[in-house]
Structure 1
Amino acid sequence: MGRIFEVRKSTMFARWDRMAKQFTRIGKDIAIAVKAAGPDPENNPALRRCIVNAKAVNMPKDRVEAAIKRAMGKDKTDYEEVVYEGYAPHGIAIMVDTATDNTTRTVANVRTHFNKCGGSLGNSGSVAFMFNRVGEFKVKNAGQDLEELELELIDAGLEEIGEDSEGNIIIRAAFTEFGNMSKALEDKGLEVISSELKRIPANVVELSEEQAKEVLELVDRLEQDDDVQAVFHNLK
């Protein structure tokens, strides 16, 4: 009985830790969005995206509002978005999106993660050409006809449309069309569950289970870093 309790407690703490990291990352996204275009979601598509994503991870409304107020205050933290590129073991390309108030700390930490896992931090542009930056929207499937929806969204920059394993509609648009697609989905009254800017690899690399484990160890270390917002790779 004691062992079962320990396992459940460990799982619960891991879930809380993951939720805390999600809240922190969304808080940084809110700060960046408010700094760029103000605190009014009606006039700030990036902030609207943050609020939608906060809802998707069950971030309390009062925490979202507090993050917006903090971003407007005198003691606000100014975050800089910095992208790092490199290689994991076995030649797997890695891109790391960060939001930091101390780039010296962040680059040192990111380099340490790469080095400890047998990878190497590269220069800007060293692997970016292997990825396409897109806006990805997860939309609630309310029985829409995907073919009809595809035709309706082409003018908003649609590149791909499909369904995920849970039956939600996944829509991808070019990075430069993110705002247009967001508005088009709003205008159609579609329920957007989450929206993200992603880096999709043009080609993927298949490794053995043991080799993939080494790569994923680096990915996990990077994702646990407080300054890291997202990690992308071309491992199949």
Structure 2
Amino acid sequence: MSGHSKWANIKHKKAKMDEKKGKIFTKIGREIIVAVKQGGPDPEGNPRLKAVLQKARENNMPNDNIQRIIQKATGELESSNYEEIVYEGYGPAGVAILLNIMTDNRNRTAGEIRHIFSKNGGSLGETGCVAWMFETKGVITIELANSGLDEEELALLAIEAGADDVNTEDDQLTVYTSIDSFEEVKQSLAASGVCFSSAEITKVPKNSIVISDLEQAQQILKLMDLLEDHDDVQAVYSNFELDDSIADQLA
């Protein structure tokens, strides 16, 4: 499962958070609207909304923004109707790409996403073509230098709390859990004083394609960036892993 961690590291190093903050708020806002419409405005009775609100706080989204979005979702303010769609496709070197989409115009979004794929060495595929290559997991990342514990102590804590697997890479410990045990593991680690870089339910590739060609790596990263920047794309998942020498060149 190391591919997820390595891609996350590259992505974080490349991110320009100030430029992307507006897009992040827009995407979180759509998640809040869908969550409220599905499960109501009370986060205690709506686990999906509770998770999205936590993400909003982690990204320093103002409370006024959050309340206004909830009002849109409950009908107190005018709002667009968003639907959730999963798109699947292939990138350069045949890497699998899975997209979570929220859109108020399915036809427009499909055309734009297809265009991004085709102009950057990829292709939009049929439903089910790559989804089977991923599984939904809880993923908790911990910076070893900031944890106050060594690698073995952290790994033991995570396993004892119910984690399925742990992996260390680039001075970062990644903890993998089932969906059901995610909150329990997260709360157990937090109670032990462990600080997380991130904690989320996400898609993890069952197997990874190792990219050892610099040009292919650059093409893949460009495609991933363009897809992530699209307003209707909530999340992008892929099964590529960069060879260590290529990762070092791109870091």
The alpha-carbon deviation at position 220 of structure 1 amounts to: 1.3
The alpha-carbon deviation at position 164 of structure 1 amounts to: 7.1
The alpha-carbon deviation at position 69 of structure 1 amounts to: 1.9
The alpha-carbon deviation at position 209 of structure 1 amounts to: 0.6
What does residue 208 of structure 2 align with?
204
What does residue 10 of structure 1 align with?
none
The alpha-carbon deviation at position 135 of structure 1 amounts to: 2.2
User: What does residue range 30-179 of structure 1 map to in structure 2 within 5 Å?
Assistant: 30-74=32-76, 75-138=78-141, 141=147, 143=149, 145-154=153-162, 158-161=163-166, 170-175=174-179, 177=180
- AA of the residue aligned to 2:53: I
C-alpha distance in 2, partners of 1:147/1:170?
Answer: 9
C-alpha distance in 1, partners of 2:184/2:158?
Answer: 15
C-alpha distance in 1, partners of 2:31/2:227?
Answer: 18
The alpha-carbon deviation at position 109 of structure 1 amounts to: 0.9
- Which ranges of structure 1 fall in alignment gaps of 5 or more residues? 1-13
Deviations 1:80-123 (Å, cap 9, x if unpaired)? 11111111122111111111111111111111111111211111
- AA of the residue aligned to 2:224: V
Q: Are 1:232 and 2:240 matched, yes or no?
A: no
- Which ranges of structure 2 fall in alignment gaps of 5 or more residues? 1-15, 242-251
The alpha-carbon deviation at position 34 of structure 1 amounts to: 0.9
C-alpha spacing 1:33/1:138, structure 2 compared with 1 (3 Å): farther
- AA of the residue aligned to 1:62: D
C-alpha spacing 1:91/1:17, structure 2 compared with 1 (3 Å): same
Q: Normalising by the residue count of structure 2, what TM-score does the alignment of the two structures yield? A: 0.75
Overall identity of the aligned pairs, in %: 36
Equivalent pair of 1:34/1:72 in contact (CA under 8 Å): yes
Q: Which has the higher contact order (CA 8 A, sep 6+)?
A: 2
Q: Are 1:181 and 2:169 matched, yes or no?
A: no
Aligned length: 216
Equivalent pair of 1:53/1:194 in contact (CA under 8 Å): no
- AA of the residue aligned to 1:150: A
C-alpha spacing 1:68/1:160, structure 2 compared with 1 (3 Å): farther
2:164 is paired with a residue whose SS is strand
